[in-house]
Chain A
Amino acid sequence: MERIFCIENLTVVYDRKGVSGDKAVEDISLFLNKGEIFGFLGPNGAGKTTTIKALLGIITPTKGSVSIFNRKVSPQTMHVVGYMPEVANYYWFLTPREILDFYGNIFDIDKNILDKRVDELLNMVELDRASDKLLKTFSKGMLQKVSFAQALINDPEVLILDEPTTGLDPISKMNMRDTLLKLKERGKTIFFSSHELSEVEIICDRVANIKNGKILKETRPKNILDEKGNQISLEKHFFELVRDK
């Protein structure tokens, strides 16, 4: 199976004014195979976003390495990556169409292809009727939809989503879940962090639990249910795991 990305012994320590601080993540190792949906679970401040930032090359690991398609993470490797951040703040003076156009141009996508893709994405996230309104007039949920659309603008091989369903209404959540499953069918690889454990349970092939910067357990949701004889939900298992450690 083709390995899409690989995190080996990742440790990140944030320096504060030259003084070495606490370890945000410590000795994390993870890998992701092509076509997988991987759920990254953990309480607030566990190190999920730090891991994602290291994966995107936004922060440099203190120790360990991160690679995508066997190449060290760099701006060039980002051509195959789509990222949806935890906080969906975008340039308020732009419209969704303009923001998708701006990001699409960064990927150097041909104008005709880009125009078509922007229309498709706006249609997919049901923002086609608001496509020419300024983002400053958008609700949190609408911004989240823009955020999801921009992550797909380059038709990425690997999609990294940080709390993607935050602020979405139940129907939009269901639509996003369906879209993720369709992307998986097309061979895309998806890594996402979430608090929505029911979401993770339904769509993830594998999950990892992280707390205080360390991976507690990595498993398949199906295995948890088998282990416990279908008597426990992933949510309950997660609570037990986090509380015990």
Chain B
Amino acid sequence: MKTVFLLARHSFKELVRKKDFYVLLFLLIGLIIFFYNKTFFGTADASRYLKDIGYSLVMICSIILCVTFTAKQIPSELESKTIYPLLAKPVSRDQLVWGKFLGGLFMSAASFTIFFIVYLIFINLKGEGVKGILMFQAYIFSLCLFTLLSAVTVFFSMFLTLSANITLTLLLFFYFSWYNESLRSLLLDETLKMRLFYNLLFYALPHFEFFDMKTRLAHSWDPIPLWIFVSVIAYTLIYSTLLVISSSALFRRKNL
């Protein structure tokens, strides 16, 4: 386990030394300040718009960092051949895959936390702010999202090129976030057999929309019931673990 965390910490150091994070942080602050000073639809104190747009910006910046950073982890080790001295040490391929997954997750969680703090400062400065419990749920669900996204990205990096991996993961994410409902309605015209098949496929794919708290935050709705909250966390852990185990199995058979 120590080796896995060492590898994860090593990936985290990469984030600190790279410019990507700082660029996105300044971009985010700039955009939030811009929206902070804007009056939406003539309403000077429409804090919910800032909550909505601000949260979307935080999520987009974090998702881009998470996917692009995690997707590079294993391919860059292979391309630069740094994987050879690493595997010539007491490091198994399974530990390497878990380390890279956790590295991607820690990095995403850390950058999201900083982005989220910036967001909270601004929405509290303008208007009503957000209920503590809702804020907590949004934070935990975002961490769940990054866990799942990191696992999906590591899994795809076993057989896709870097650009294909980033494209497919982001496509899957946006498709499920935006068109989830319409996807189900398409099944109604299908035959029973096909409906069964598409339903299986639908449930087998990762459901990123489970973690979306944007509307709930913007309108200050009630917090999510505890059983749903716990179920979503369990879904994330089970789905992500299965994906990383599958990635390890694929990586063990890979010709290096």
The reply on B238 being an interface residue by CB < 8 A is: no
Q: CA of A87 to CA of B84 in the docked complex: distance in angstroms?
A: 10
Q: Are B89 and A85 neighbours in the complex by a CB distance under 8 Å? A: no
Which residues from chain A contact B131 at a C-beta distance below 8 Å? none
Shortest B67–chain A CB gap in Å is 20
Known interface pairs A106-B3, A108-B2; A58-B87 also in contact (CB < 8 Å): yes
> A215 vs B14: C-alpha distance in the bound complex, in angstroms?
43
Instruction: Flag if B81 contacts A87 (CB, 8 Å).
Output: yes
A57/B87 in contact, CB under 8 A:
yes
With A83-B88, A85-B88, A154-B89 given, name 6 new contacts (CB 8 A).
A56-B84, A57-B87, A78-B90, A90-B82, A94-B13, A94-B17
Please, how many angstroms separate the alpha-carbon atoms of A91 and B14 in the complex?
9
CB distance from B43 to the nearest CB of A (A): 46
User: Does B90 contact A107, Cβ atoms closer than 8 Å?
Assistant: yes
Residue of B nearest to A136 (CB): B17
Chain B residue at minimal CB-CB distance from A93: B17
Supply 24 A–B pairs (Cβ within 8 Å), ascending by A.
A15-B255, A53-B256, A58-B84, A58-B88, A75-B89, A76-B90, A78-B90, A83-B84, A83-B85, A83-B89, A85-B88, A87-B81, A89-B80, A89-B81, A89-B82, A90-B85, A91-B82, A94-B17, A102-B10, A103-B85, A103-B89, A106-B91, A107-B89, A154-B89
- Pick the residue among A14, A53, A91, A98 that contacts B84 (CB under 8 A): A53
Contacts of A84 in B (CB 8 A): 85
What's the nearest-Cβ distance from chain B to residue A191, in Å?
13
**B-side interface residues, number (CB < 8 Å):** 22
Q: Which of A81, A83, A93 contacts B14 (CB 8 A)?
A: A93
A193 within 8 A of B: no
Q: A15-B255, A89-B80, A93-B18 are in contact. Are A150 and B85 (CB under 8 A)?
A: yes
Closest to B87 in A: A58
Q: With A and B bound together, what is the CA distance between A87 and B6 in angstroms? A: 23
In the bound complex, what is the Cα–Cα distance between A46 and B81 (angstroms)?
20
Residue B92, interface by CB 8 Å: yes
Which residues in A have their C-beta under 8 angstroms from that of B14? Answer: 91, 93
Among B2, B6, B80, B85, the one with the most A-chain Cβ atoms within 10 Å of its Cβ is B85
Interface positions, chain B 78-126, Cβ under 8 Å from A, are 80-82, 84-85, 87-92, 95
Instruction: Kindly identify, within residues 158 to 201 of chain B, every residue whose CB is under 8 Å from any CB belonging to chain A.
Output: none
Q: In the docked arrangement, what's the CA distance between A150 and B10, Å?
A: 16
Residues on the B chain within 8 Å of A94, using CB: 13, 17
- Say how far B12's CB is from chain A's closest CB, in angstroms: 11
Contacts of A105 in B (CB 8 A): 6
Complexed CA–CA distance, A102 and B18 (Å): 18
Known contacts: A58-B87, A93-B18. The answer to whether A14 contacts B81 by CB under 8 A is no
Chain A residues, Cβ within 8 Å of B95: 75
- Known A14-B255, A93-B17, A105-B6; judge A85-B90 contact (CB<8 A): no
Q: Check B6 against A75 for contact (C-beta < 8 Å).
A: no
A79 interface contact, C-beta 8 A: yes
Cβ-defined partner of B89 (8 Å) among A53, A90, A106: A106
The proximity string for A residues 56-90 relative to B, scoring 1 for CB distances below 8 Å and 0 otherwise, is: 11110000000000000001101101011101011
**Shortest beta-carbon distance, B22 to chain A, in Å?**
14
A81: chain B residues within 8 A (beta carbon)? 88
